[in-house]
Structure 1
Amino acid sequence: MAIRWACLLLLPTTSMFFSTLPAADADDEAALLAFKAAAIGGTSDVLASWNGSTDGGYCNWEGVRCQGRHRRVVALSLPSHGLTGVLSPAVGNLSSLRLLNLSSNWFISGGIPASLGRLHHLHILDLSNNAFSGDIPANLSSCTDLMFMALRSNQLRGRVPPEFGDELTRLMILDLWNNSLTGVIPVSLANLSSLTYLVLVQNCLEGTIPPGLGSIRGLQVLLVDENNLSGEPPNSLYNLSSLKMLDLRGNMLHGSIPADIGSKFPNMKFLSFATNQFTGSIPASLSNLTTLRILFLEQNRLSGYVPPPLGMLRALQTLYLYDNMLQANDKEGWEFITSLTNCSQLEQLVMHSNVAFTGQMPCSIVNLSQTMQMLSVGFNGISGSLPSDIGNLVNLQIFSAANTSISGEIPESIGKLGNLGSLSLYNTNFSGIIPSSIGNLSQLTKLYADNCNLEGAIPSSLGKLKSLTLLDLSRNHLNGSIPKELFKLPVISIYLALSHNSLSGPLPSEVGNLRNLNSLYLSGNLLSGEIPENIGDCTVLQELFLDSNSFQGSIPHTLKNVKGLNALNLSMNKLSGTIPDAIGSIHDLQVLYLAHNNLSGPIPSLLQNLTSLSELDLSFNNLQGEVPKGGVFRYLGNLSLTGNNNLCGGIPQLHLAPCHIYSTKNGIKGWFRSVMIALVATSALLFLALGIAHIQFIYKKLTRNQKRRIAPLKLEEGYERVSYNMLANGTNGFSEANLLGKGRFGMVYKCNYQDEGTIAAVKVFNLEQSGSTRSFVAECEALRRVRHRCLIKIITCCSSINHQGQEFKALVFEFMPNGSLSDWLHPKSGMPTVTNTLSLAQRLDISVDIMDALDYLHNHCQPSIIHCDLKPSNILLAEDMSARVGDFGISRILPERESKTLQNSNSTIGIRGSIGYVAPEYGEGSSVSALGDVYSLGILLLEMFTGRSPTDDMFTGSLDLHKFSEDALPERIWEIVDTKMWLHTDAYDETTRSRIEN
């Protein structure tokens, strides 16, 4: 957006563009109608008004402007109208066109027509933020009057046409950001003497930066970051005294930063050499760039001391120095911190991962600007103590001193940092007690203080951290009991880790309040008493580690309620009794450790049916009886039964004594299977017959009978907020090849996240679409509160600025390899139908998962959340075909007083939901409630088992999907069921098969 506005300031007045035009033979109306026919769709249906009934004819069509006595079209401007289709070559017949702006429609695809080269009077061409592909037509160079060309954020490939530099001599703006262009930067671009903005960000360009670019005297913005450029930047580049923005980051450039750079760019505001291979020292002359606001020098090989004169940069807001080889010690090198206290606008100082930063933490750090929001000094050799006046930095939002040798106590004044959201003190030598003042950090979401030397009791004031989602105090010397207040933290969800301390006493029964928690780590303490039964109320736990304590009593049967539990470790306690069969109903269990207890009785045979169970340790107990032979019991490498002397049987490799064998008729197994198939089939018909009125009844039945599923792919938690560059790299510049789907507020891409081999899904919001920012905030707010195996898991978010200075917002989710439920119910053209078919059993499992999620959102999440947009495209399928409910962009969080009744006060936000699924009462002005979600669920279930969308063309007048299904019951049930769900099952006999086929 910044570049676009700058362009408007630089271009001549519109009177120059739209002067009286000569007559021409081209039929402008015919060209516009051809454009309409090719550019189908549009959220505002703008093209529907393009017809012969419009007063004044085509010159009064929206987005069209004419000039002159011949009524020639001089402007076609339809940005952000949701147009789809392709750009018709007929637009090239609008021979008087001065302005063509189709930006931010997002879905216009196909190639850029070469016929645009015939628009010899064109001044502005803006096709940004669409899905254009193919090469950039070289004959656009024939548009010799062009001043503004923006083709950013498409899927264009091939080279940057060298012809541009030879012909477009009036060009002032050239923006090709975020495509897949290859080859070199054409040397001919040096001929563009009028150029002020050259933006080639995020492509695949290679080679060196042409020295001739240094001859474009009026160049103000040069952005070539995130390419594959190499070599040294040419010396001529530093002669561009008009430059205000220079970004070279994310390439393979090398060399040193010129010592006299401070005398080269008197107007520089943004300067980045980051993520390259630059060496040498940081020039002290940088302090002469008095207008500089942002300086990125991170991730290079820079060495030496940071020059103290940087403090003369009074306008400096951001300074990144991290991941270099910079030096400082007790004798010299820390003076730059003191000098930076003169930078009254400084907001971010990031200098971690410079291992040669040693010596005492400079006390002057507390005198940095009160505008400071991010301060990172971790992963260095810094020692000493944290200054007691750290509380002076009252606007600090992120503070990290992790992985340092800092010692002493955590200052009490840290409680003054009321805006702090993340505090990282892990892997340090902090000692003493945890100050109770930390409880004042009302905005704190993550507190990492593990692997330190902290001692004493955990202050109960931590229970006041109402925004906390993660707390890690493990591997310290803490003692006393666990404060009950910790178990009342309302939104703690990622993990609570208190392992390897000296905590004692019982585990408070309040642990059952942690209904949103994903992981609980209490290993290696002195905890005693029984494990509370209500730990089964922690229904979204994925990891529970209570090992190496002194817990007694039996294993709670209520653990069966924790359906998504992946890892359970109760080893090295004093537990007794039998292993409850309930453990065998935890379908997603992957790791089970019960070693070194006093457990007795048989090994539950149900454990062998857990297809996801990959590690099992039952050693050193008093177990007896036959060892099962299936599942994990077949693999010696993942199984430990040592120290149980009364076990028998099992696979031969265990070398156990044989057991007494009792025969069982083979027919029983077949009979049982037939009965189960019949029950599954009957349940499917019940969905259709009972509809919405009996959803809760069906939910209870199916929950008891749902099939066991393979555990879903697990993504790691706790990522820090991700950068824009990382997402752009992981999606190959948000390329079409990585596009997973398109929605109302943006697009979703497949992303190789953080170069760690982890695949994620990135939802990029179209901030030019009305309501998209509100949707981003709503989704962040909803997802940070919830933790459930049947809800899409958010990994992190990105709220940043792209390379053009535009706001950028995105969410990163776990990747769902099997797409959406909509993809399976209604396969797209060309998709093999049989392959993309859901069996009856799969549909039942998916139904249960959806209802599990809604039950959690409505009844167990505090406060309750109303989804408001339940439909197949928002139900995503994991690798094992288990379902995740996603897209909380229009969800509503009910205030606590409303959550109890699941009602809401009158809403003024209008209808929430999608056509066909939205509850009828919303259209009458009723408030958002759980009943609205239940209605949408009912329609969704009918769609799943009939295979018909509620927006199908067959539904007209008073006929809708609900009435269609109701009218068919019971006699014509076989006429409306989706017969495709029988393709992968033998759950019907020949008579049934005949009825379906006929």
Structure 2
Amino acid sequence: MSGIGSIRIRPPAAAAAALRHGNQHCNRRNVFERPWGRRERHRLRVVALDLFSQGLTGTISPAIGNLTFLRSLNLSFNTLQGEIPPTIGSLTRLRLIDLSTNMLTGVIPRNISRCTSLDTMYINSNKGIRGSIPDEIGNMPSLSYLVLFNNSITGTIPSSLGNLSRLIELSLSLNYLEGSIPSSIGNNPYLTFLQLSVNNISGLLPPSLYNLSSLNYFYTADNNLHGRLPFDLGKSFPSIQEIFIGGNRFSGALPQSITNLSKLQMLYVENNSFAGIVPSRLGRLQNLEVLILEDNMLEANNEEEWEHIASLTNCSRLQKLSIGWNKFAGKLPSSLANLSTNLQWLRTTSNNISGLIPSDIGNLGRLEYLDFRDNLLTGVIPESIGKLTLGKHLALDISINKLTGFIPKVIMELSSISSILDLSYNLLEGPLPAEVGNLVNIEELRLSGNKLSGAIPDAIGNCKVLEILFLDGLSLLNLTDNKLNGSIPGNLATITDLKELYLAHNNLSGTIPELLGNSTSLLHLDLSFNNLQGEVPKEGVFRNITGLSIVGNNALCGGIQQPHLPKCTKSTVGKKKKSMPKFLRIVIPITGAIMLLLSGLALAGFCYRKSKVGLKKDDEQPQLTEIELPMIPYNDILKGTDGFSEANVLGKGRYGTVYRGTLENHAVAIAVKVFNLQQSGSYKSFMAECEALRRVRHRCLVKIITCCSSINHQGQDFRALVFEFMANGSLDRWIHSNFDGQNGQGALSLSQRLDIAVDIMDALDYLHNSCQPPVIHCDLKPSNILLNQDMRARVGDFGIARVLDQSTSKNPMNSNSSIGIRGTIGYIAPEYGEGLAVSTYGDVYSLGVTLIEMFTGRSPTDDMFRDGMSLHYFAEASLPDKVMEIADSNMWLHDGLNTKNDTTHMTSIKECLSSVIQLGVLCSRQLPIEPLSVSDAATEMHAIRDLYITTQHSGSYASSAKI
């Protein structure tokens, strides 16, 4: 290298020394090596520093600027933190800098432009990098590769980048850039790779872009671009290979000249407003591998228009084709079965396609994903579908159509189906083929909402890796039931990975197999609304009341205490049981309800007397009254918490402290809420919690196990409630903890937040609408929402809950409150401060604030919310197009958003977030605007979550196509 010996640093110890001290210690033998045996005339100098993926931590020292002879600096794929030191500008000989995939923060130093010899700059995938792109970068004449994607860069794209006459690659995706694309970008004559996807860029595509004849890769997906594509697009990009413009607002027709792009391999135009029929002669695109037209307003209504799609049979390299979510109608052309033998992915989802499935569809033998769902297809499933045996991981979805007849046995012999077989919501009938046992590798089998009859074959137990089995009529779309009868096969428990089993709304009879309780993987079991009878098992999933549903089986008995089933008698546990007489089916529930009411009245009386005694000023202690909860001695609480050790404290509140502990002879962990009876209002809080908890039984509420009302060692009154331990603590801790230093470990993903939101709303819906009289929580906030081991939410802390009387519940806005403001600042409904009574609408307001906080990561009491600004208005101002700007960035740490050009994933995320924030805004409006009920909010939240899950399941295939 022009007389200067190339030096190699021995990582990582030697690297640390060089980063700390620069060239002044370059003669240390333990730091550098000479590449040649002869002695050098000049002092050795560092010219290349390559520490790719060496596990480096800490910060980049400013001393890096002392390595003035450095030509190549590669610190990528480490966990370096802190800012990029401005001394980097001293490295005037630098030709390559790669700081990608670290945890760097701050801005890109403006004086990096002093590195005038720089050819390659990679500073991507550092979410802490913010600020704008320095204009001075446009003054770097040698720069050929500028890669800054997957950061948090804001501002506009500098027009000075058009001065980079040698620029080959410009990659700015996955940032927060806004404004328009500068027309000067068209001045880069050698530009081959332009990546601007997933930003907030708006406006029209500048005409100068169409002068980039060297362009091979054009990515502007998931922005706010609009306008029409030029009719002569085929002349503009003669070398183009990949076009990704999905997730924008482009409109008009797809230009016919697209078919002149002879080198085109991938075309993604999904999620725009393109209309009309697709270009004819698509078959001229001989190099085409992927064509994604979904989610537009494209159409085909007759055989001639369908022929434009059918011409793709001439594209021998075609691997993926989607025309889903458009306006295609009429019959599928039979020629579709003659598409490329390399075709792996075919989707026509959510159109109005009618007629039969092409009888020769089996000719597409290498298909790995076939999705015809949500159309108007009729007739039977063709037998030729059994030829789809060459795909390695086949997924088959023909749900939500009008298919009739029996399920072909050949489908059940497709051992290549390893992810999902979904035939739900059709008109299929007859028995479930015994050949279902051949699906030994399948993960999800969905047959809900049909008219299947007969018994469930024992052979289904051969599906050893089955995770989810839907045979019910109450899945996400809530359509018709099946008519399966007979008993539940006991060998379902032998399916190794079975996690969810839904057999609801059928005609199943007999007893529940004891073996199901032995399954270690089964988490959710729904056997509701059948004709099951006999004793309910007590082990495994049957101990998990939140994952079990057995309602609507009136002849069941026994089981664990929680479902409150009648005790089994000899007649009810006999080997052959008769159905319970009809009059008993009526009497027993009424009797149980009366007994529950009497127990509740006893508990209410107990809590009432305790509160009265607690308010006395003398030393008289409250007397213990018998309640329905099992009582526990004070010494057991003391021992179980290690003497109320500070190490066991889970949290502290106004009225007491919560400890983690265990009970003697119990292996399960517990949470003990010990009330501070010296605090004014603590007896009242204890009473309120007792009054509320005696009424509620729901999977999304924290489960109370027992209580303690006794005297402590000092002879003082002692009150404690013992709850089921929530392994993952409060939601507040998960929302507001800083996970940057943990590589995102522990951050809540978007999917987890959606599930948690659904749980919270289900809990409130139950309290408001299924409890009579309704229970108002009065203090809903993230710190009072706990997460169990499966990261599902449980609403807790009923210390200031209110049970509404009938008049208040009917007219919640007609009476003034005499109890003062209830709740926590930031979450209290504004109308409470105006004297309105406690009502369900107050909880809905708190719900709205909590919902926005969950998805933005911002507390309603943040310093930024002042002078009239609130979390509500902050969220409302982001709708509908700026939700990504206010979203909690921790959500993306595990969602794979650094996957290049994952436009389908990003589109669904934007739509999902917009819907969630909109719902939070509607809930947190101030009265007297017409309030939203919690039942409506819960219905909407379920729909948002379910749509996102459906989109991600189908979108995972699209994502793999775009990498």
**TM-score of the aligned structures, taking structure 2 as reference length:** 0.61
| CA distance in 2: counterparts of 1:648 and 1:147, whole angstroms | 79
Find out whether 1:169 has 2:125 as its counterpart. Answer: no
Asked whether the equivalents of residues 308 and 336 of structure 1 are also in contact (C-alpha less than 8 Å), the reply is yes
Q: Cα 1:669–1:153, aligned 2, differ >3 Å: closer, same or farther?
A: closer
Structure 1 residue 753, shift from structure 2 partner: 4.1
Find out whether 1:649 has 2:629 as its counterpart. Answer: no
| CA distance in 2: counterparts of 1:277 and 1:754, whole angstroms | 30
Q: 2:28 is matched with which residue?
A: 52
Asked whether the equivalents of residues 221 and 901 of structure 2 are also in contact (C-alpha less than 8 Å), the reply is no
| CA distance in 2: counterparts of 1:560 and 1:120, whole angstroms | 67
Asked whether the equivalents of residues 513 and 537 of structure 1 are also in contact (C-alpha less than 8 Å), the reply is no
Find out whether 1:330 has 2:302 as its counterpart. Answer: yes
**1:547-583 CA distance string (max 9 Å, x none):** 332223x23233466444424333333415x544x24
Structure 1 residue 502, shift from structure 2 partner: 1.6
| CA distance in 2: counterparts of 1:66 and 1:223, whole angstroms | 48
| AA partner of residue 488 (structure 1) | N
Q: Cα 1:642–1:370, aligned 2, differ >3 Å: closer, same or farther?
A: farther
Structure 1 residue 748, shift from structure 2 partner: 7.1
Find out whether 1:403 has 2:413 as its counterpart. Answer: no
| AA partner of residue 372 (structure 2) | A
Asked whether the equivalents of residues 284 and 307 of structure 1 are also in contact (C-alpha less than 8 Å), the reply is yes
| CA distance in 1: counterparts of 2:420 and 2:506, whole angstroms | 23
| AA partner of residue 414 (structure 1) | I
Structure 1 residue 706, shift from structure 2 partner: 4.9
Structure 1 residue 237, shift from structure 2 partner: 0.3
Find out whether 1:374 has 2:345 as its counterpart. Answer: yes
Query: Which structure 1 residue ranges, 5 or more long, are not aligned?
Result: 1-17, 41-46, 585-591, 602-617, 625-639, 657-661, 685-698, 715-734, 761-788, 813-998
Asked whether the equivalents of residues 214 and 237 of structure 1 are also in contact (C-alpha less than 8 Å), the reply is yes
Q: 2:749 is matched with which residue?
A: 751
| CA distance in 2: counterparts of 1:796 and 1:439, whole angstroms | 39
Find out whether 1:465 has 2:562 as its counterpart. Answer: no
Find out whether 1:292 has 2:256 as its counterpart. Answer: no
| CA distance in 2: counterparts of 1:436 and 1:749, whole angstroms | 45
Structure 1 residue 306, shift from structure 2 partner: 0.8
Match for 1:672 among 625, 628, 633? 633
| CA distance in 1: counterparts of 2:414 and 2:302, whole angstroms | 32
Q: 2:507 is matched with which residue?
A: 526
Match for 1:160 among 133, 150, 159? 133
Structure 1 residue 470, shift from structure 2 partner: 1.4
Q: Cα 1:437–1:68, aligned 2, differ >3 Å: closer, same or farther?
A: farther
Asked whether the equivalents of residues 35 and 91 of structure 1 are also in contact (C-alpha less than 8 Å), the reply is no
Find out whether 1:389 has 2:360 as its counterpart. Answer: yes
Q: 2:889 is matched with which residue?
A: none
| AA partner of residue 377 (structure 1) | T
**1:514-563 CA distance string (max 9 Å, x none):** 453232222222222222222212344333222332223x2323346644
Find out whether 1:513 has 2:474 as its counterpart. Answer: no
Match for 1:449 among 403, 406, 423? 423
| AA partner of residue 598 (structure 2) | G
Q: Cα 1:665–1:387, aligned 2, differ >3 Å: closer, same or farther?
A: closer
Structure 1 residue 486, shift from structure 2 partner: 1.2
Q: Write the mapping of 1:702-721 to structure 2, written as runs, cut at 5 A.
A: 706-707=669-670
Asked whether the equivalents of residues 119 and 144 of structure 2 are also in contact (C-alpha less than 8 Å), the reply is yes
**1:120-150 CA distance string (max 9 Å, x none):** 1111111111122111110111111111111
| CA distance in 1: counterparts of 2:896 and 2:253, whole angstroms | 32
Give the 3-state SS of the residue equivalent to 1:182 in structure 2. coil
| CA distance in 2: counterparts of 1:422 and 1:736, whole angstroms | 39
Q: Cα 1:452–1:700, aligned 2, differ >3 Å: closer, same or farther?
A: farther
**1:381-439 CA distance string (max 9 Å, x none):** 00111111111111111111111001111111212212253211111111111011112
| CA distance in 2: counterparts of 1:28 and 1:344, whole angstroms | 49
Structure 1 residue 641, shift from structure 2 partner: 5.3
Asked whether the equivalents of residues 21 and 96 of structure 1 are also in contact (C-alpha less than 8 Å), the reply is no
Match for 1:263 among 230, 235, 239? 235
Q: Cα 1:477–1:711, aligned 2, differ >3 Å: closer, same or farther?
A: closer
Q: Cα 1:203–1:436, aligned 2, differ >3 Å: closer, same or farther?
A: same
Q: Cα 1:209–1:75, aligned 2, differ >3 Å: closer, same or farther?
A: same
| CA distance in 1: counterparts of 2:472 and 2:630, whole angstroms | 47
Q: 2:76 is matched with which residue?
A: 103
Find out whether 1:178 has 2:150 as its counterpart. Answer: yes
Q: Write the mapping of 1:192-271 to structure 2, written as runs, cut at 5 A.
A: 192-271=164-243
**1:326-368 CA distance string (max 9 Å, x none):** 01112442112221111111111111111x1100012111111
Match for 1:311 among 267, 271, 283? 283
Q: Write the mapping of 1:857-896 to structure 2, written as runs, cut at 5 A.
A: none
**1:939-976 CA distance string (max 9 Å, x none):** xxxxxxxxxxxxxxxxxxxxxxxxxxxxxxxxxxxxxx
Give the 3-state SS of the residue equivalent to 2:445 in structure 1. strand
Aligned residues, how many?
A: 658
Asked whether the equivalents of residues 219 and 242 of structure 1 are also in contact (C-alpha less than 8 Å), the reply is yes
Asked whether the equivalents of residues 540 and 562 of structure 1 are also in contact (C-alpha less than 8 Å), the reply is no
| AA partner of residue 181 (structure 2) | I
**1:735-778 CA distance string (max 9 Å, x none):** 99663724xxx977543349958699xxxxxxxxxxxxxxxxxx
Identity of aligned residues (%): 35
Give the 3-state SS of the residue equivalent to 2:288 in structure 1. coil
**1:279-327 CA distance string (max 9 Å, x none):** 0011111111111111100000000001122211111111111100001
Match for 1:572 among 552, 555, 565? 552
| CA distance in 1: counterparts of 2:111 and 2:40, whole angstroms | 26
Structure 1 residue 97, shift from structure 2 partner: 1.6
Give the 3-state SS of the residue equivalent to 1:399 in structure 2. strand
Find out whether 1:363 has 2:364 as its counterpart. Answer: no
Instruction: Give the CA RMSD over aligned residues.
Output: 4.5
Find out whether 1:537 has 2:498 as its counterpart. Answer: no
Q: 1:421 is matched with which residue?
A: 394
Match for 2:2 among 11, 19, 42? 19
| CA distance in 2: counterparts of 1:328 and 1:81, whole angstroms | 55
Asked whether the equivalents of residues 540 and 564 of structure 1 are also in contact (C-alpha less than 8 Å), the reply is no
**TM-score of the aligned structures, taking structure 1 as reference length:** 0.59
| CA distance in 2: counterparts of 1:520 and 1:491, whole angstroms | 13
| AA partner of residue 489 (structure 1) | C
| CA distance in 2: counterparts of 1:162 and 1:706, whole angstroms | 58
Q: Cα 1:253–1:670, aligned 2, differ >3 Å: closer, same or farther?
A: closer
Asked whether the equivalents of residues 253 and 275 of structure 2 are also in contact (C-alpha less than 8 Å), the reply is yes
Q: Cα 1:379–1:599, aligned 2, differ >3 Å: closer, same or farther?
A: farther
| AA partner of residue 373 (structure 2) | A
Query: Which structure 2 residue ranges, 5 or more long, are not aligned?
Result: 474-480, 571-581, 606-622, 646-661, 673-696, 702-735, 759-787, 793-891, 910-963
Structure 1 residue 216, shift from structure 2 partner: 1.0
| CA distance in 1: counterparts of 2:564 and 2:348, whole angstroms | 39
Give the 3-state SS of the residue equivalent to 2:208 in structure 1. helix
| CA distance in 2: counterparts of 1:757 and 1:101, whole angstroms | 41
Match for 1:82 among 43, 55, 66? 55
Q: Cα 1:547–1:396, aligned 2, differ >3 Å: closer, same or farther?
A: same
Asked whether the equivalents of residues 230 and 252 of structure 1 are also in contact (C-alpha less than 8 Å), the reply is yes
Asked whether the equivalents of residues 620 and 642 of structure 1 are also in contact (C-alpha less than 8 Å), the reply is no
Q: Cα 1:574–1:802, aligned 2, differ >3 Å: closer, same or farther?
A: closer
| AA partner of residue 572 (structure 1) | G
| CA distance in 1: counterparts of 2:65 and 2:596, whole angstroms | 84
| CA distance in 1: counterparts of 2:483 and 2:507, whole angstroms | 6
Asked whether the equivalents of residues 599 and 621 of structure 1 are also in contact (C-alpha less than 8 Å), the reply is no
Structure 1 residue 82, shift from structure 2 partner: 1.3
| AA partner of residue 130 (structure 2) | R
Structure 1 residue 493, shift from structure 2 partner: 1.6
| CA distance in 1: counterparts of 2:450 and 2:159, whole angstroms | 61
